Structure 1
Amino acid sequence: MHAANSYLPKPALMMQLHRCSATKANDGENSWKMSEFTQDRIRNFSIIAHIDHGKSTLADRLLELTGTIKERADNKQVLDKLVVERERGITVKAQTVSMFFEHYGQRYLLNLIDTPMHKDRNVKLGTRFKGHVDFSYEVSRSLAATQGCLLLVDAAQGVQAQTVANFHLAKKQGLKIIPVLNKIDLHGAEIHRVASEVKSLGMAREPLQISAKTRLNIEQILPAVIEYIPPPTGSRTSPFRSLLFDSWYDKYKGVICLMSIKDGVLRQGDKIQSVHSGQKYDVTELGIMHPEQTPTKQLYAGQVGYVVCSMRSASEAKVGDTFARVGSRVEPLPGFEAAKAMVYAGIFPVDTNDFQKLDESIKKLTLNDSSVSVSKETSTALGQGWRLGFLGTLHMDVFRQRLEQEYEANIIVTQPTVPYKVIRKGGNVKYIRNPIEFPSLDDTSRSVAELQEPMVLATMVFPEEYLGSLMDLCGARRGEQVDYGYLDETRVLMKYRLPLAEVVTDFFDELKSRSSGYATFDYEEDGYQKSDLVKMSVLLNSKPVDALSVILHRSQVEFVGRDWVKRLKNVIQRQLFEIIIQTTVGNKVIARETIPPMRKDVTAKLYGGDVTRKMKLLEKQKAGKKRMKKIGNVELPQSAFYDFMGSKTSR
């Protein structure tokens, strides 16, 4: 008997194919009732995987197997509904789908909760870096609504950095984990090697072996889920309590919340309130995702579904919040945190006439993404714009791409920055999210006790031959090695503690370049650390350009300063007077470049004659340029910013 079936008892191995069948979905004739699915007949699970290991394809196969959707020849991912999700191969918003499955004469309600993940490589539209930390909190709250998960691993690629992160996140949540090897039909599949790598993570059981694309052994998955993953806990007779793990905005119904019912019963017409904010709501509709919204009369303890409750703003739907019936006192579910932006950037319209249109587009987009913080700001160089806070660089780049694709916005995104911490001598703490807010050198020496920057713990998986090169890269980015070991004879797993500011620029591109594309990367937050930080300013003819200020570690200032003046010299057009480009820290000039003035041939009209006539015209032109330099401003079009931000600093 194949080891992949070790999750099933031996009798099930012999009878599984002809005794397990899908039940018919609800067709409006009450073919099932939610009350009949007690907790022992409910399984809540998710699929976690590294990118391109087949998570969305496997989800489609399970939906087909249970009759939730019709079997299809293509491999179009049903749960990836956004254009950006399909193009990038990522899941930005968590999705949930309820399936009905018959196993040994018992009907089970299986809730598949899809978790937000991301792509780990450059794709068609490309980004500089994709970080798992962007959605780690949302992933943890989605996992909190489950009791187990399928850990999906590509049989050709093996364990990757995000696989390790996913495994530890699920283990931390106390979930039952079923390892699954996918794509075993590929010519390059190394089943025994990858199974050994999965075991090295701490998995005692043999993984199931499937091919989601060809449907090979798919029928083994759901019986394993029923046999191995425990049913949800809680009681129908206890006071109502639920976990909100995702939401989206509907222009007709308002905010639609995805909730996991932990205790009690929720009915249409009930009055509920948020435990953390105290706001009260009336439940106007509820039901399950099957796969679209299917209304029901009740949701019981252990079940997962959607709730419409007259919530008008996405900012009210806090992921991880606990909801209870009005007037009922319940213990809040653990793990709630307010959304915390870790990357900030300025967004400005390329054409200032598009400001109002862009303002409306940002408001519409943030209706479905309450984790984006928005505040207006004004730049002397770029005009009116916004300072936006994101969960990470992937979050920022997806937001930018959706603005450009869905709303046809033409925008400039400034250099991303991270939240620095300023600790005053009196003990007061302030977070700096914009370089303009950074204290001056005089203020730093007089009243600032310490400057700190956010750190991350990075995990990298790569072939052994690239070990030296990637250690050099991490060392150059002020990294501190935490651990490294071997997954197998040829692949290394290495952990470094790195400043977040070093990661949000071009670290990912450099990592891929140095490893010939073989390295995978993931990271998680790791607190703050004292750092020697300074603000570098860019001056054009002695006037600062606020949009180009940046906070750097002192060791980077000279390199970045010299690089920036050279790049600016290439994008700023010559004008009728000399332009001096400088980068400075305080009063100290770090680097300088000069753009010579355009020269008009004022002697072209002369045809011979006394040479003094020519000299007189040249002196007159010279005097005019001096006056122009005193009263003229450098013409810096927004297209120059667009070109400058689009280029990268190479180290």
Structure 2
Amino acid sequence: MLLRWQATSHREILKRTHRPPLGQTYPAFCTSAVRRLAAAPPTSVDLAGFSCDNIRNFSIIAHIDHGKSTLADRLLEATGTIKMDSKGLNRQVLDKLKVERERGITGNMFYQQNNLRYLLNLIDTPGHVDFSWEVSRSMVACQGALLLVDASQGVQAQSLSVFHAARERGLKIIPVLNKIDLPTAQPDRVKAQMHSIFGIEPADVLHISAKTGEGISDVLRAIVERIPPPSGETTGKLKAFLFDSLYDRYRGVISLVSIQDGVLCKGDRIVSCHTRKKYEITELGIMHPEEVPTAQLLPGQVGYIACNMKQSSEAHIGDTLHRVGYAVEPMPGFQPAKAMVFAGIYPVESNDFPKLEESIKRLTLTDRSVTIQRESSSALGQGYRLGFLGSLHMDVFRQRLEDEYEANIIVTAPTVPYKVVYRDRTAVVSNPTDFPDIVETSSQVREVQEPIVKATIIVPEEYLGEMMDLCFEHRAEDVDHRYLGTSGEASNRAMLTCTLPLSEIVADFFDKLKSRSSGFASFDYEDAGYKKSNLVKMIFLLNTKPVDALALIVHRSAEQSIGRMWVKKLHKVIPRQLFEVPIQAAVGKRIIARETLSALRADVTAGLYGGHYERKMKHLENQKESKRKMKRVGRVDLPQEAFFDILSTRRP
């Protein structure tokens, strides 16, 4: 009976994680693989010996591409959590997707120092500006953080935001200088920058090379000595903080929790302070780096739990879990993810909508920050209006739809949420079709507000002029700059700050930033609320018929340039008809730009010979009259290929 149970369990594991080689049947593959797995069944660990004094919870915060994932892998290798492959090469564990991961990963390590054994809980964080909400979420379960800075690039824009976020939460910061083995590394200059910007003493900065492993032992020692241990009592009431979740198709929702007080064991019945729903713990453990079951989770420890949650919406990020019958005071949560970029997603073929709908629902099970709303368009048919954290987040989701589900989709131009202040209410509008047509003449609309952000750009000083011009082109205000470095030191880098409308940076602002700075500029932004703005709704007419899928919300100062640009693009991609087609961009009742698509003309006089010229004129007049009738009743349908070409670029 035991062998049969083991074989059944291993077959379930194989179904989830393995596929048979090409040419081998699945039963034969299972039979051979089960024999190998049975010799080394899944192990479990005992965490009873780790009190709060022997636990350290920390995260790694850094600008993108500063070596955060590589450092995490070296820490896992140095503690024996993972091993190098058979060729002696370092394998990357934490970033496994082809696109940047939008969710941090928890990894537990065991480290011994001075005859004491420590449990180190690493909570990885994303490195892109769009996922700042993910960074703040991961910091809740930490007491310290490694601030990683590239020794060749210096302090970047994202380093500023994550440092201040960690300081606001009271985390102990350990500064780490990475990539010191590069020929272009300037550790002394970068340490001077860190002292000038963050107030960090140069003597406290650790020098490492995550690629070669140099200095990793110093990092582990600093984690144990500098980061304070978590607090909590095993005799207190169970209080667990839920800071992340993922979805497993076999076990339902898997929640990542940080135990604040009490002991959590398998079989315990818990209740959510947010939803008041009750669950029974069916499995719990730690990430080492994959899931490893344990008998219990003690105060200060971070692990995963499975409790038969069926829907991801039940796992409320920031929720407090406690044992049934023993109520506790909920922990202060934090603001949920707020969608800042919206786009419509439609299938190329209308018959593929059920498949697209199922694909979107499956992806949103693993990405809680995406908001979905069903909508329809007269030009594109049935689709969804999705909200994302940023433009990169939108690209990640689109690429996952195409790669994982082979979806053939059309993504409309991204928009941001606007506030329309009426006399009796305030509405948030993210779809241009819902925006008021004529704001300035409407007696019901008082004003329109658009979201703005506080932007930070760090760039070499020779590109400072280009960056200021770029910001002014995108309606920047309160532009200021200062040079990085200590007093008396010549610095070749400058930090530029300004306020920008969010709508100006969601399309191609980042691409222009990199292009004008030769790739040396770094960019970061944070929400700065809403501001009154002169915005209008622009619609496009084909033969006087509006195309709702192409509606835009633009600033009054840019309506002429954007209208001309889009009209010219439409003129290039719309196929010619048997009648003349006017292509117009309109704001209210005013036509901003126009192009005319000439009609296809057949030679109706080719078959005539001899006779008076009035015979030819009669045929030509009949043709003109027919085209006038077709123009009155004719309808121009945009082919799907035209939408691909139109939406490829959004700004002139």
Same fold (TM > 0.5): yes
Residue in 1 aligned with 2:98? 83
Q: Distance in 2 between matches of 1:444 and 1:370?
A: 40
Residue in 2 aligned with 1:512? 514
Give the C-alpha shift of residue 466 in structure 1: 1.4
Q: Distance in 2 between matches of 1:236 and 1:444?
A: 66
Query: Structure 2, unaligned stretches of length 5 or more?
Result: 1-39, 486-490
Residue in 2 aligned with 1:424? 422
Give the C-alpha shift of residue 442 in structure 1: 6.6
The TM-score with structure 2 as length reference comes to 0.90
Q: Kindly indicate whether residue 252 of structure 2 is the aligned counterpart of residue 254 of structure 1.
A: yes
Residue in 2 aligned with 1:124? none
Q: Kindly indicate whether residue 243 of structure 2 is the aligned counterpart of residue 235 of structure 1.
A: no
Q: Kindly indicate whether residue 95 of structure 2 is the aligned counterpart of residue 98 of structure 1.
A: no
In structure 2, give the amino acid aligned to 1:592.
R
Alpha-carbon deviations, 1:392-414, whole Å to 9, x = none? 21111111000001111111101
Q: Secondary structure at the match of 1:354?
A: helix
Q: Give the 3 Å change call, closer, same or farther, for CA 481–311 of structure 1 in structure 2.
A: same
Q: Distance in 1 between matches of 2:508 and 2:271?
A: 44
Alpha-carbon deviations, 1:554-575, whole Å to 9, x = none? 1221221111111111111111
Q: Kindly indicate whether residue 484 of structure 2 is the aligned counterpart of residue 487 of structure 1.
A: yes
Alpha-carbon deviations, 1:591-648, whole Å to 9, x = none? 1111111122223334565433333322222121111111110131121111100123
Match of 1:392 among 390, 393, 396: 390
Q: Secondary structure at the match of 2:344?
A: strand
Residue in 2 aligned with 1:57? 70
Residue in 2 aligned with 1:367? 365
Residue in 2 aligned with 1:145? 141
Give the conservation status (yes or no) of the 8 Å contact 2:540–2:550: yes
Give the C-alpha shift of residue 235 in structure 1: 2.1
Q: Distance in 2 between matches of 1:512 and 1:615?
A: 61
Give the conservation status (yes or no) of the 8 Å contact 1:41–1:108: yes
Residue in 2 aligned with 1:637? 639
Paired residues for 1:432-511 under 5 Å = 432-441=429-438, 445-481=442-478, 483-488=480-485, 489-511=491-513
Residue in 2 aligned with 1:111? 121
Q: Give the 3 Å change call, closer, same or farther, for CA 333–482 of structure 1 in structure 2.
A: farther
Give the C-alpha shift of residue 31 in structure 1: 8.9
Residue in 2 aligned with 1:40? 53
Q: Secondary structure at the match of 1:221?
A: helix
Alpha-carbon deviations, 1:347-399, whole Å to 9, x = none? 00111121111111111111111221112111011111111111221111111
Moved more, 138-147 or 616-625: 616-625
In structure 2, give the amino acid aligned to 1:555.
S
Q: Kindly indicate whether residue 152 of structure 2 is the aligned counterpart of residue 156 of structure 1.
A: yes
Moved more, 299-308 or 137-146: 137-146
Give the C-alpha shift of residue 327 in structure 1: 3.0
Q: Distance in 1 between matches of 2:470 and 2:89?
A: 42
Q: Distance in 1 between matches of 2:441 and 2:507?
A: 26
Give the C-alpha shift of residue 65 in structure 1: 0.8
Q: Distance in 2 between matches of 1:31 and 1:431?
A: 50
Moved more, 525-534 or 204-213: 204-213
* Aligned alpha-carbon RMSD (Å): 1.8
Alpha-carbon deviations, 1:496-535, whole Å to 9, x = none? 1111111111111111122122111011111111111211
In structure 2, give the amino acid aligned to 1:541.
N
Residue in 2 aligned with 1:74? 89
Q: Distance in 1 between matches of 2:323 and 2:441?
A: 51
Moved more, 304-313 or 369-378: 369-378
Match of 1:534 among 533, 536, 554: 536
Alpha-carbon deviations, 1:443-481, whole Å to 9, x = none? 963112221111111111001111122112112212112
Give the conservation status (yes or no) of the 8 Å contact 1:606–1:614: yes
Alpha-carbon deviations, 1:129-186, whole Å to 9, x = none? xxx1x32222111011111111111111111111111111111111111111111111
Q: Distance in 2 between matches of 1:567 and 1:225?
A: 57
Q: Distance in 1 between matches of 2:127 and 2:185?
A: 24
Q: Distance in 2 between matches of 1:545 and 1:32?
A: 61
Paired residues for 1:206-355 under 5 Å = 206-355=204-353
Q: Secondary structure at the match of 2:399?
A: helix
In structure 2, give the amino acid aligned to 1:65.
A
Match of 1:174 among 144, 151, 170: 170
Q: Secondary structure at the match of 1:613?
A: helix
Residue in 1 aligned with 2:23? none
Give the conservation status (yes or no) of the 8 Å contact 1:537–1:584: yes
Q: Distance in 1 between matches of 2:567 and 2:311?
A: 45
Give the conservation status (yes or no) of the 8 Å contact 2:109–2:119: yes
Give the conservation status (yes or no) of the 8 Å contact 2:415–2:503: yes
Q: Give the 3 Å change call, closer, same or farther, for CA 28–203 of structure 1 in structure 2.
A: farther
Q: Secondary structure at the match of 2:361?
A: helix
The TM-score with structure 1 as length reference comes to 0.90
Give the C-alpha shift of residue 483 in structure 1: 3.9
Give the C-alpha shift of residue 225 in structure 1: 0.5
Q: Give the 3 Å change call, closer, same or farther, for CA 648–447 of structure 1 in structure 2.
A: closer
Give the conservation status (yes or no) of the 8 Å contact 1:57–1:75: no
Q: Kindly indicate whether residue 407 of structure 2 is the aligned counterpart of residue 409 of structure 1.
A: yes
Give the C-alpha shift of residue 546 in structure 1: 0.6
Q: Distance in 1 between matches of 2:518 and 2:453?
A: 24
Q: Distance in 2 between matches of 1:259 and 1:169?
A: 21
Q: Kindly indicate whether residue 215 of structure 2 is the aligned counterpart of residue 202 of structure 1.
A: no
Q: Give the 3 Å change call, closer, same or farther, for CA 50–598 of structure 1 in structure 2.
A: same
Q: Distance in 1 between matches of 2:90 and 2:585?
A: 52
Give the conservation status (yes or no) of the 8 Å contact 1:314–1:369: no
Give the conservation status (yes or no) of the 8 Å contact 1:91–1:117: no
In structure 1, give the amino acid aligned to 2:556.
R
Q: Give the 3 Å change call, closer, same or farther, for CA 545–39 of structure 1 in structure 2.
A: same
Q: Secondary structure at the match of 1:616?
A: helix
Q: Secondary structure at the match of 2:407?
A: coil
Give the C-alpha shift of residue 237 in structure 1: 2.0
In structure 2, give the amino acid aligned to 1:80.
D
Give the conservation status (yes or no) of the 8 Å contact 2:58–2:145: yes
Q: Give the 3 Å change call, closer, same or farther, for CA 517–335 of structure 1 in structure 2.
A: same
Q: Give the number of the structure with larger relative contact order, counting CA–CA contacts within 8 Å between residues 6 or more apart.
A: 1
Give the conservation status (yes or no) of the 8 Å contact 1:286–1:306: yes
Alpha-carbon deviations, 1:266-311, whole Å to 9, x = none? 1111122222222222111110001111111110110000011111
Match of 1:185 among 181, 188, 191: 181
Q: Kindly indicate whether residue 548 of structure 2 is the aligned counterpart of residue 546 of structure 1.
A: yes
How many correspondences in the alignment? 604
Q: Distance in 1 between matches of 2:127 and 2:329?
A: 30
Q: Secondary structure at the match of 1:643?
A: helix
Give the C-alpha shift of residue 82 in structure 1: 2.7
Residue in 2 aligned with 1:582? 584
In structure 1, give the amino acid aligned to 2:456.
T
In structure 2, give the amino acid aligned to 1:436.
T
In structure 2, give the amino acid aligned to 1:82.
L
Residue in 2 aligned with 1:23? none
Q: Kindly indicate whether residue 588 of structure 2 is the aligned counterpart of residue 591 of structure 1.
A: no
Give the conservation status (yes or no) of the 8 Å contact 1:195–1:206: no
Q: Distance in 2 between matches of 1:579 and 1:234?
A: 73
